[in-house]
Chain A
Amino acid sequence: MHISRLLGAVAVGALIALPGAPALADTTLNVVSAGDQNMVDYVNNYLGPKFEKMNPGVKVRAVGTGPGDSGSQKIYEKLSAEQKAGQNTWDIDVAVVHQRGAATMVNDKLLMPYRNDVGAGKLVSRDTAKNALGANVDGYVLPMFHSQIAFAYNPDLVKQPPKSFAELNEWVKKNPKQFGYNGVKGGMSGVGFVTGWVAANSGIADKLEKGPYDPNAKAQIDKALTGLKEFNQYVVMTPGNAGTLDMLNRGEIAMGPVWVDMFYTWVSDGKMNPKIKLELPSPGLPGQPMYYVIPAKAANAALAKKFIDFAESPEVQADGIVKQFNWYPGIDPQYVQSKLDPAAWNKLFTDISPQDLSKYGRPFPLSEYFTDIVEGYERVVLK
């Protein structure tokens, strides 16, 4: 698996590095992706070759701009510069961006509405296809996949995992130093836990997700965070997203918030005790999609739509997104299930059922609230 990926990468590298080689492709589809390296690998090693086979004369080239919102920010800056320079065609055909990035790009008219032009546009069902952290992105985006934060726990040590944040608060007092998370500076699984805590304990969960923004809500946020400060006395702080997984695997903690896709990848790579289980507590933990978007003046817009339509097809979502990369599908899971063998389907949905996912899989708060929460965490909890 790894060797074939490596060979694939080398082959692609060699192809790019050979200036004397005859031009094999007439059209190059430029895909630029924010996010971790696995997303670039996904396009270059999985999606691209399949699409090229179906469309002779087309070459798919993907580059990454780095993880986190700053990765999307780089794509935004490039498109914005091309817009300001008044160029007629822009050189990104398909971009993969985070929610905050998509909201800004739609706002600045950098994107093209395309959902109704592609067949797969009808297969999406979640609210995230229309709403990105409070911003209306209806028509401009299709979710590539959803990733979700959930509690991972060791069933040997935790017979009955707490089902809600309130139960967790009791549980840590009975089992001190058995729950671990990575604060707000060590990666998004910790940030997601904190926003989930605030949503559960501030009484304004809906407002945090849907707006409108109210600066006075800071008082309620800070009050919820005061509870978190007390909670923190009974928990272990872990070094980063991977740090939580590491400590779970070594048995140093019994429970902690993790990214579901990262967790499954670790299990399938043999880096994680396969006995560890997942659960989504009430009233929920945040998750986020990555979006496929098409820049307003993409040079190969028609081809870009075809590419996204292919990427959102139930077959690709089943085999590529779910089976090979352990993400939750971007389209409605009911279209995906029939394309998967039960084992692969069960692997993703054994611990967290699709019902739980739709009930307790929350979006992140609006960006203004998000800033208030993480800054409040520094002010109230850390100081």
Chain B
Amino acid sequence: MSMSTDLAAGIAPVEPESRVRNQARTQRWAGFALITPALTVVALFFVMPLVLSAVGAFRAADGGFTLAHFAKSIDLYTKDIVFTIGIVGLSTLLISIVAIAIAGYLTLGENPRGVALLRWLYRWPLFIPFVVAGQVMRTFLAKNGLLNHVLIGTGLIEPLSAESMLDWRGIVVAFVWKQAPFVTLLLAGAMASLDRTHVEAARNLGAPRWRVLFGIVLPQVRGTLLVGLVLSFVTMLSVLSVPLMINPNSPTMMTVDVAYRISTLSDYAVANALCLISLLLAAVGAAFYLRHAVQKAEGA
């Protein structure tokens, strides 16, 4: 945006006014023509289905306007909506802790072998699809699954007290396991590009590593952390496979309810209403993201 005004301002004094205007107009049309295919695809395949889905959420069987689908969604699924917010919120919190810990060690760690090993190891879950993560957790966290076998084998818990973690805990574990590396990747990148002199100055003055992390490094990469967390929040909100494989029963996440309304009851209206509610939740994340982006643009 700013580039085109710069361009116009730069050209204006040397050219006759009308020609400039014509040229600018042609350029503008050429620009539109260039992005038309992309815009058409976006409008046809993203905007239109979204609008149709939103319209469907308010349309009664006879075609009139109704809020009945929202009433039904709230009536049947309030618990699931709260559950979804809780799961995704808790996961986001845990992801931030894990990501800060790993990225902090990668930046400030003093054992080169440890750092290299961690750097190699932490990215693995990035390349594993959610559905596979769900499937892995399903056997790992079951009552007689691998985790409990290990805990019993090492004598940490009694066989009788072993319980299945295939409920909200399983979903949180799967989400954190899958998304923490993503935030870590962004965060470690941002930390690596910081000016090392600050860190070294603080270390020279005797600050322990945790103080350097929280007092010097983290405040400078706060924005990146926020962006990573918002993107994870929105991604987790839309995952169907993990809750479906780990805990599709009540309470469960909204994605399962949407799939259920469609596949068992062919009820697109309530599914649309639920989608719109989920969109509102994602919009909260988007608002954070935009505010940060605006701040950054203003700062720059």
Contacts and interface: CB of A to CB of B under 8 A. Distances in A.
Interface string A256-277: 0000000000000000000000
B168 to A, nearest CB: 12
Contacts of A191: 264
A371 B248 contact: no
Contact of A247 (B142, B246, B251, B263): B142
B265 A186 contact: no
Interface in A202-259: 236-237, 239-240, 243, 246-247, 250-252
Interface stretch (A121-129, A137-145, A294-302, A374-382): A374-382
B250 interface: yes
Given A185-B256, A378-B76, A240 B248 contact: yes
B67 to A, nearest CB: 18
Interface size grouping (class) on chain A: 20 to 34
Contacts of B166: 239
B144 interface: yes
A240 B256 CA distance: 12
Given A252-B143, A252-B144, A383-B76, A186 B263 contact: no
A30 to B, nearest CB: 25
A290 interface: no
Contacts, number: 72
Contact of B265 (A240, A251, A374): A374
A239 B138 contact: yes
B57 interface: no
Contact of A251 (B79, B144, B245, B262): B144
Given A250-B142, A252-B142, A378-B76, A239 B265 contact: no
Interface in A36-65: none
B249 A250 contact: no
B66 interface: no
A183 interface: yes
A383 B79 CA distance: 7
Contact of B248 (A186, A236, A246, A247): A186
Contact of A371 (B76, B246, B256, B265): B265
B238 interface: no
Contact of A183 (B145, B250, B263, B266): B250
Contacts of A69: 263-264, 266
A250 B144 contact: yes
A250 B257 contact: no
A252 B143 CA distance: 7
Nearest to B243: A239
Contact of A70 (B75, B138, B266): B266
Contacts of B144: 250-252
A182 interface: yes
A4 to B, nearest CB: 27
B264 A374 contact: yes
Given A68-B263, A374-B265, A378-B76, A250 B143 contact: yes
Interface string B161-182: 0001010000000000000000
Interface in B117-163: 138, 142-145
Contacts of B247: 237, 239
B252 interface: yes
Contacts of B210: none
B173 to A, nearest CB: 14
Contacts of A239: 138, 166, 244-249
A243 B164 CA distance: 13
B260 interface: yes
A73 interface: yes
Given A68-B263, A73-B266, A379 B142 contact: no
A265 to B, nearest CB: 19
A184 interface: yes
A375 B144 CA distance: 33
Given A185-B256, A239-B138, A70 B79 contact: no
Nearest to B79: A383
Given A73-B266, A239-B248, A371-B265, A185 B257 contact: yes
Interface string A68-108: 11100100000000000000000000000000000000000
A252 B145 CA distance: 10
Contacts of B244: 186, 239-240
B286 to A, nearest CB: 28
Contacts of B75: 379, 383
A167 B13 CA distance: 94
A374 B261 CA distance: 10
Contacts of A237: 247, 249-250
Contacts of B142: 246-247, 250, 252
Contacts of A183: 248-250
B264 A184 contact: yes
A54 B57 CA distance: 53
29 contacts: A68-B264, A69-B263, A70-B266, A183-B248, A183-B250, A184-B260, A185-B248, A185-B252, A185-B256, A185-B260, A237-B250, A239-B244, A239-B246, A239-B248, A243-B138, A246-B138, A247-B142, A250-B142, A250-B143, A250-B145, A252-B142, A252-B143, A252-B144, A371-B265, A378-B76, A379-B75, A382-B76, A382-B250, A382-B251
Interface of A: 68-70, 73, 182-186, 191, 236-237, 239-240, 243, 246-247, 250-252, 371, 374-375, 378-379, 381-383
Given A183-B250, A184-B264, A379-B75, 4 more contacts: A73-B266, A236-B164, A239-B245, A247-B142
